[in-house]
Amino acid sequence: MQIREKLAAKGYRMTKPRQEIFNVLCHAPQSVLEIMSNLQKKKLQIDKVTVYRTLTSFVKLGIVEETQFKDKISVYELADQKHHHHVVCDTCGKIEDIELDENLLEEAAKKSSTFQIKSHHLEFFGLCRKCR
Amino acid sequence: MQIREKLAAKGYRMTKPRQEIFNVLCHAPQSVLEIMSNLQKKKLQIDKVTVYRTLTSFVKLGIVEETQFKDKISVYELADQKHHHHVVCDTCGKIEDIELDENLLEEAAKKSSTFQIKSHHLEFFGLCRKCR
DNA sequence: GACTTATTGCAACTCATTTGCAATAATACC
DNA sequence: GGTATTATTGCAAATGAGTTGCAATAAGTC
Ligand SMILES: [Mn+2]
Ligand SMILES: [Mn+2]
Ligand SMILES: [Zn+2]
Ligand SMILES: [Zn+2]
């Protein structure tokens, strides 16, 4: 399903800002600041508030996923991928995808907890090749 | 090693606010707001800024650990325990400790990443017994 | 093309956390 | 103990990510 259809299905409209923010997100997971900077590089003037609201809508529609790392700044990435996690470089902040056998995790968690577990957040931190 | 010694070892001084904030943290992992409220219950007037600065120092000295959950508010807990993770109730916010076999995690991560992995953050979300 | 209403941009706001600075108090030294 | 040194505190003000109100604009519908 295309982004336009996903929007329309819930009464959202396809607009220039939404299209451009989506395009920018196609390249890499990014913070709002980085999205703004990438939009400016393309000579696009889109307000920060519009970026925030667009991302909120995208998350609601399942187009985008929001993740928070140590510094409390949200990072957004397209949700069209397999469930996965991230490794963040302590020095340069570079983010790499990482896939794990989730069964291990969920099972171990269910065994040790009285909660009904529905989801999890997992991020690794360390040094990328360059910064090592 | 006592807290006073840990402080002294790095040129920090033992003060009333530090002692009281430490005492309050002995009971449960808490946010700054909760720490403030617990101090007030004990008729102690300690400025919020002092709490923040004390926690920063405690983290630096390895006395306290800082964790952030979905809502971007930091929660602090004593670091004198075994490495463990948390389950957070989506409804009431209750936090429960959870222990896992970390070997699985670290190994799986090392296999799938080019980074030199040093640490990780892992939290589970779901429903506690009451809220189920 | 005109109508309806979602969306945008701007300014102002919120709220956790941080910073500057003068007053205070913990340690070290006599 | 008393004094000097300097870390720590409290208050006010600043910061910065994210949110909200509102009038102007533009997508979708017919
Ligand atoms: Mn990713
Ligand atoms: Mn814990
Ligand atoms: Zn790096
Ligand atoms: Zn609950």
Classify residue A131: in a domain, yes or no: no
- Mark whether A105 and A62 lie in a shared domain: no
| D26 C1': nearest CA residue | A15
With cut-offs at 50, 70 and 90, classify the pLDDT of residue A80.
Answer: confident
- How many domains does chain A divide into? 2
Asked whether the beta carbons of residue B123 and residue A121 sit closer than 8 angstroms, the reply is yes
- Mark whether A101 and A37 lie in a shared domain: no
In this prediction, residue A18 carries a pLDDT of: 98
- Mark whether A65 and A10 lie in a shared domain: yes
Q: Which residue has better confidence, A13 or A111?
A: A13
- Mark whether A73 and A94 lie in a shared domain: no
Residue at token pair 């196609």: A26
Q: In this structure, are strands B116-127 and B85-89 parallel, antiparallel, or unpaired? A: parallel
Minimum-distance nucleotide, CA of A66 to C1': D18
- Mark whether A109 and A74 lie in a shared domain: no
Average pLDDT over chain A reads 92
Q: In this structure, are strands B116-127 and A116-127 parallel, antiparallel, or unpaired? A: antiparallel
Q: Which of B78, B93, B110 is the last residue of a domain?
A: B78
- How many Cα atoms occupy the beta-carbon half-sphere of B119 within 13 Å? 9
Q: Which of B78, B93, B116 is the last residue of a domain?
A: B78
Query: What tokens were used for A85?
Result: 């996690």
Distance, CA of B80 to CA of B97 (rounded, Å): 14
- Mark whether A94 and A61 lie in a shared domain: no
The H or E element that residue B104 is part of is: helix B102-112
A130: closest chain B residue by CA: B115
Classify residue A58: in a domain, yes or no: yes
- Mark whether A54 and A106 lie in a shared domain: no
Percent of chain A exceeding pLDDT 90 equals: 60
- Mark whether B74 and B99 lie in a shared domain: no
**Per-residue model confidence as pLDDT tens digits over A97-110:** 998 888 878 888 88
User: What does each C-alpha distance from A127 to A43, A124, B5, B16 come to in angstroms?
Assistant: 34, 10, 32, 39
A74, β-bridge pairs: A68
Classify residue A120: in a domain, yes or no: yes
pLDDT of residue A71 exceeding 80? no
pLDDT in tens, chain B (132 residues): 799 999 999 999 999 999 999 999 999 999 999 999 999 999 999 999 999 999 999 999 999 999 987 778 899 999 988 889 999 888 887 888 998 888 878 888 888 899 999 888 888 988 999 998
Residues 14-33 of B with CB under 7 A from strand D: 15-18
- Mark whether A89 and A74 lie in a shared domain: no
**Per-residue model confidence as pLDDT tens digits over A13-52:** 999 999 999 999 999 999 999 999 999 999 999 999 999 9
A83, A87, A114: which to substitute to probe chain B, counting the most B Cβ within 10 Å? A87
Among B126, B42, B114, CA closest to B88: B126
Classify residue A37: in a domain, yes or no: yes
- Ranges of beta strands (E only) in B4-115 are 64-68, 74-78, 85-89, 95-98
A89: closest chain B residue by CA: B115
- Mark whether B27 and B57 lie in a shared domain: yes
Percent of chain A exceeding pLDDT 70 equals: 100
- Mark whether B49 and B94 lie in a shared domain: no
Classify residue B131: in a domain, yes or no: no
Q: What torsion do the CA atoms of B108, A67, A77, A42 make, to the nearest 10 degrees?
A: -130
Please report, for the domain that includes residue B115, its CATH number.
3.30.1490.190
The pTM of the full predicted model, rounded to 2 decimals, is: 0.87
Please report, for the domain that includes residue A42, its CATH number.
1.10.10.10
In this prediction, residue B109 carries a pLDDT of: 87
- Mark whether A45 and A66 lie in a shared domain: yes
User: Which DSSP state fits B63?
Assistant: S
**Distance of A49 CA from C13 C1′ (whole Å):** 13
Structural domain range at position B13: 3-78
Strand D atom within 7 Å of B43 CB? no
- Smallest CA–CA separation between B107 and chain A, in Å? 10
User: Which nucleotides in chain C lie less than 7 Å from some protein C-beta?
Assistant: 6-12, 16-20, 25-28
